[in-house]
Amino acid sequence: MLSRLREIEQPISFTFDGVQMQAERGDMLATALLAAGVDYVRRSVVSDAPRAPYCLMGVCFECLVTVDGVQNRQACLVEVEEGMTVLSQQGASHPMASLDGGEGRQP
């Protein structure tokens, strides 16, 4: 887990999945989430594995989140704003989920 090198001097409040968090003014959303102790921001559509920010420069797309109702925003390219509402993305349910008891996994 990442941690900040210094205390937040200019705090900004936002929510992630309904949890109130603070960031430093000017933080990018991905780094603010990692510094707040968030382990993952979405789940893989294919395997349902948890995914977290990786490259922090807009290349890998591992940090996709929903920001103020807009899906598929790259958290590493979005600056945190006061009152921002961020939601994790859970991917699409597997097409076999309704047939195999809800797990959505193939044998």
The reply to whether 99 falls in a domain is no
Residue 47: what pLDDT?
Answer: 87
Using a pLDDT cut of 90, give the percent of the chain over it.
Answer: 75
The reply to whether 21 falls in a domain is yes
The reply to whether 43 falls in a domain is yes
pLDDT higher than 80, residue 99 = no
pLDDT higher than 70, residue 32 = yes
The reply to whether 75 falls in a domain is yes
The reply to whether 79 falls in a domain is yes
pLDDT higher than 70, residue 50 = yes
The reply to whether 52 falls in a domain is yes
The reply to whether 41 falls in a domain is yes
pTM: 0.82
Asked if residues 79 and 14 have their Cβ atoms less than 8 Å apart, the reply is no
Residue 20: give its domain's CATH number: 3.10.20.740
The reply to whether 72 falls in a domain is yes
Q: Which domain holds residue 27?
A: 14-87
pLDDT higher than 60, residue 101 = no
Asked if residues 54 and 60 have their Cβ atoms less than 8 Å apart, the reply is yes
Tell me how many domains the chain contains: 1
- Give the helix ranges, DSSP H, for 2-103: 29-35
